[in-house]
Amino acid sequence: MSGGATDANLRLAVTGAGGRMGREVIEAAADREGVAVAVAVNRTATEPVAGVDVDSADRLRELLAAESPDVLVDFTGPESAIAYAGACADADVPMVTGTTGFAGAQLDDLRAASDAVPVLKASNFARGVAALRRAVREAAAALPGYDVELTETHHNGKRDAPSGTAKSILDDVESVRGDLDERVHGREGDAPREASEIGVHARRAGDVTGEHEVMLAGNRETLRLTHRAGDRGVFAEGALDAAAWLADSDPGWYGFDDVLDAGSE
């Protein structure tokens, strides 16, 4: 437990505490007044992060029962996120997850926990990406018949492709452009473009935090909408905003827009 966790306004549990994002969340919590990390776990043994001891993830259920944190924040992998959601449901702890890479049926398993507790899932906690998604929906609707190609770039440690954000943006485009229903992942050989395609390109290189570009082209013009995350603190800050909002919510299934919409009311 971090110093001051007993009298903080928002007491968190953090899973994947030794990962890139888990560390970032613990560090962001340490910098935010009134927020403390009461439970931090990792699959493999990990040194303390920002002064917070990290326990084995095998002890998560026991620790949730002992500490009753206000919200659990998860950035891990699909299988673990589903298991941790079950632990949250049993311990009556709301869950924020930024984990990506869920296969279709896995999302149903994750969502099952939202019958018992509030669960907020977002493929991207950057506010700029929320704005990008709104802009993409508007642009795609305003430019019928234009070709759409999506390119995302991430660091060489990322496992899932395309990114969760890319999949969310593809859903956005398809929601307003019913004529685009074929996701084509890269092209090779004799592969002329069909009008129904959305091209999807996933690049993995170096330490790029995360970039998403949507290109719309047609009628002798090109529109490019791009978001670049400067560092992972952007995601961690958004996840903490989501945790603060979710702590007082009813059981159910939520997204990051629910947090942003509440803030603008």
Ligand X SMILES: O=C(O)C1=N[C@H](C(=O)O)C[C@H](O)C1
Name the site residues for ligand X (rule: CB under 6 A).
100, 123-124, 154, 158, 163-165, 210
Read off the amino acid at residue 235.
Answer: F
**Which of 235, 241, 244, 245: binder of ligand NDP (CB under 6 A)?**
235
For the bound state, the minimum distance from the C-beta of residue 73 to ligand X, rounded and expressed in Å, comes to 15
Partner interacting with residue 94 (select from ligand X, ligand NDP, none; CB below 5-8 Å by kind): none
Cis preceding linkage at 94, omega within 30: no
Fill in the DSSP letter of residue 194: P
For the bound state, the minimum distance from the C-beta of residue 147 to ligand NDP, rounded and expressed in Å, comes to 27
User: Closest residue to ligand NDP, Cβ-based?
Assistant: 19
The strand order across the sheet containing 147-154 reads 182-185, 197-204, 147-154, 211-218, 221-228
Partner interacting with residue 154 (select from ligand NDP, ligand X, none; CB below 5-8 Å by kind): ligand X
Query: Which sequence positions are flagged as catalytic?
Result: 154, 158
For the bound state, the minimum distance from the C-beta of residue 15 to ligand NDP, rounded and expressed in Å, comes to 7
SS3 230: coil
Say whether 201 counts as a known binding-site residue.
no
Task: Give the 3-state secondary structure percentages of the chain, helix then strand then coil, rounded to 5.
Answer: 40, 25, 35
Say whether 18 counts as a known binding-site residue.
yes
User: Exposure pattern of 223-260 as b/e (b: 16+ CB <10 Å)?
Assistant: bebebebeebebbbbbbbbbbbbbbebeeeebebebbb
Does 228 interact with ligand NDP (rule: CB under 6 A)? no
Pairing of strands 35-42, 10-15: parallel
Read off the amino acid at residue 5.
Answer: A
Say whether 21 counts as a known binding-site residue.
yes
Residue set of the binding site: 16-21, 43, 98-100, 122-125, 155, 164-165
Contact residues for ligand NDP, defined by CB under 6 A: 16, 18-22, 42-44, 57, 75-77, 79-80, 98-101, 122-125, 160, 164, 235
